[in-house]
Amino acid sequence: MAALRVGLVGWRAGAFLPGLVAAGAVVAAVCELEPGRRRALGEAAGVPPNHRLDRYEDLLDAGLDAVALGTPMHLHAPQAVAALDGGLHVLSEVTAAVSFGQCRDLGRAALAAARTGRVYMLAENYCYSRQNVLVRELVRRGAFGTVYYAEGEYLHDVKDMHHNTDGSPTWRHHWQVGRNGCTYGTHSLGPVMQWLTAADPADRPDRVARVSCLGSGRHTDPEHAMEDTVILCCQLASGRLVRIRLDMLSNRPDAPTNYTLQGTAGAYESARAAGETDRVFFCTEQEGGRRWRPLESYASALPAWYRDGWPPAAGSGHGGADFFVARDFVRACRAEIPVSIGIEDAVNWTAAELVSQESIARGGMPLAVPSLSALLSAKLTPPAPRSEPHAGCGAGGERPVVVSDPGAPGVPQLVMRAPAALLAAAGVRDVPPGFAVRQALDADAPDLARLLSGAFGGGWDADRVRRDLLEAGDVTATFVVTMRAEGSERLVATASDREVPDRFPGAGYLHWVAADPAMAGSGLGAAASLAAIVHSQAGGARDMVLETDDHRLPAVATYLALGFAPEYRDPSDPARWAAVFRALAAGRRSTRTAAAVARL
């Protein structure tokens, strides 16, 4: 069998070199922006100067079989997608992605590549530490009984990594601590998820299904959006529970490998400080009372692949973990072993991080974590314009540039939210005689186009109605209010129930609410909206979200009457909502004045 030809992308990918070489792979090219690092990486890998590149596109054309990505985290998914689409195997550093859109694109590419024998693997090296491998094996053997609770903590003061030497922000400044939530949690979540699922049937693996995230406030380094400590609670689909603590800002000794596991027949506690030992307790060994025993006394349970690989792994990074990550990747590419951390785990662990950012913004509200299949079927919305580092091969040469997504609005819409059960408690609203509420049919497309064009302007036709509403993967249902007159049926109001998991996970999204202007004040738009809300609540939505514009005062008044409330998400929101409420109050005063004049 020909040797696997691998390209190293980014300075961090150099950590995989010993494991790749030990597994029989050949490093044939390297890619890194910073010249000094590029030269050092090439020399370490024995790559000739003409294959030491600074453009990722050139590396993809270098006749490789695989790439190992060690670039800034916002580049992982797009670089992985490009490689997978080009027929290459991919080993990617954590996290897998930084948005639900990236998760969707990565999932699509990885699943398509798997059908042609190509591998995607997430390089979560903490899953390969000696202690974590041993605990996983003891779980697999049943030593802990039924495991149901685990903890992981990553306490690592990395404030010195948030700025370059010239004071400019690094990618970590933007993507790790520039967002609030558990933005870098897979070092903690990955190992405990492997423990909790070690005994799961292969056809029914567990997954993070719901999360809640809270923070401690900003105290140590208030420059950043992230709070000093964030706590992420994860409910698995099976009901098992995980607690993750992430702290990259507090002044304290580092403790990035704190773990706990609890089962019906035993428990594990990792060492938390110098001089301590990792320890276990098993109910089957209670001679002398309930007491801890050193985990290392069970080292004979380490799997053979770890024991046999340890001598060459001893000198590699993260206590040998980087070696085993790379070696398993090569073996998986050759179909010798299954992929240890594939696309389903990569997206699930990353999605939990992304949903945490929404949960912490909403005071810790528990929110559903979308599955990979849900993301693949959803139509995701573009994010607002943002500033992010230069998208090159490595961490060197980072320079801020403004990146705008096509179609992203310059001013964000106003957001309103309400608990779905509260809204749905009113039930579908009764409509006047001669009117009816029902779900839209394909035959309604022309009338819906007319109705939506009248409410939102031109650009709607029957084809667009089918594409964006009736046949859209992210629209679960569209409802219409009809009026019967002279033996015919006419559409006079509509509303849709949509899912937008990248921005509003766990929520239903009330969308495209419109009513015939000739029926203004009849409550028909509210009736269509309630039908969509009831549908969303029946489908499991915890709450409902909608977006609207400042000038749509009648619509805002309707939403307020239904029970929606403003949600402040943008710095401009308080002033904008104050102006909206002043305009609504002025409108009510004008109505009362007009009514009084009419009575004179």
Q: Using one digit for the tens of pLDDT, what is the confidence trace for 87-114?
A: 999 999 999 999 888 999 999 999 999 9
Q: Using one digit for the tens of pLDDT, what is the confidence trace for 164-191?
A: 999 999 999 999 999 999 999 999 999 9
β-partners of residue 294 are: 279
Confirm whether 335 is domain-assigned: no
Count how many domains the chain has: 2
* 3-state SS assignment for residue 321: helix
Confirm whether 76 is domain-assigned: no
User: Do 367 and 429 have their domain in common?
Assistant: no
Q: What are the structure tokens assigned to 568, written together?
A: 């402040």
Confirm whether 253 is domain-assigned: yes
User: Do 217 and 279 have their domain in common?
Assistant: yes
User: pLDDT confidence of 399, banded at 50, 70, 90?
Assistant: very low
User: Do 508 and 440 have their domain in common?
Assistant: yes
User: Do 351 and 427 have their domain in common?
Assistant: no
Residue 329 pLDDT > 50, yes or no? yes
Residue 407 pLDDT > 80, yes or no? no
User: Do 291 and 153 have their domain in common?
Assistant: yes
Residue 381 pLDDT > 80, yes or no? no
The CATH number of the domain where 271 resides is what? 3.30.360.10
What per-residue confidence (pLDDT) applies to 594? Answer: 52
What per-residue confidence (pLDDT) applies to 487? Answer: 74
User: Do 483 and 357 have their domain in common?
Assistant: no
Average pLDDT over residues 371-375: 89
H helix runs in 115-185, sequence order: 130-140, 171-175
What per-residue confidence (pLDDT) applies to 403? Answer: 20
Residue 507 pLDDT > 70, yes or no? yes
Residue 328 pLDDT > 80, yes or no? yes
User: Do 362 and 421 have their domain in common?
Assistant: no
Q: Are 439 and 479 in contact, with CB atoms under 8 Å apart?
A: yes
Higher pLDDT, 230 or 394: 230
User: Do 454 and 366 have their domain in common?
Assistant: no
Q: Using one digit for the tens of pLDDT, what is the confidence trace for 522-553?
A: 888 889 999 999 898 888 888 899 999 988 88
Higher pLDDT, 226 or 520: 226
Helix (H) or strand (E) holding 235: strand 230-236
User: Do 371 and 486 have their domain in common?
Assistant: no
Q: Using one digit for the tens of pLDDT, what is the confidence trace for 139-149?
A: 999 999 999 99
Greatest CA span in the chain, whole angstroms?
Answer: 98
Confirm whether 371 is domain-assigned: yes
Mean confidence (pLDDT) of the chain: 88
What per-residue confidence (pLDDT) applies to 379? Answer: 57
Residue 391 pLDDT > 60, yes or no? no
User: Do 419 and 556 have their domain in common?
Assistant: yes
User: Do 483 and 367 have their domain in common?
Assistant: no
As a whole number of angstroms, the distance between CA 412 and CA 570 comes to 8
Confirm whether 177 is domain-assigned: yes
The mean-pLDDT minimum among 3-17, 31-45, 239-253, 569-583 falls in 569-583
The mean-pLDDT minimum among 48-52, 397-401, 513-517 falls in 397-401
Q: Are 388 and 74 in contact, with CB atoms under 8 Å apart?
A: yes
Confirm whether 580 is domain-assigned: no
What per-residue confidence (pLDDT) applies to 427? Answer: 61
Query: Strands 26-31 and 5-9, how do they pair?
Result: parallel
Confirm whether 322 is domain-assigned: no
As a whole number of angstroms, the distance between CA 316 and CA 329 comes to 16
Residue length of the chain:
600
Select from 341, 104, 355, 132 the least CA-distant residue to 234.
355
The CATH number of the domain where 435 resides is what? 3.40.630.30
What percentage of the chain exceeds 90 in pLDDT?
Answer: 66
Confirm whether 585 is domain-assigned: no
Please compute, for residue 360, the number of CA atoms within 13 A of its CA located in the half-sphere on the CB side: 25
Q: Which domain holds residue 249?
A: 130-299+346-375
- What pTM, to 2 d.p., does this model score? 0.72
User: Do 174 and 273 have their domain in common?
Assistant: yes
Residue 363 pLDDT > 70, yes or no? yes
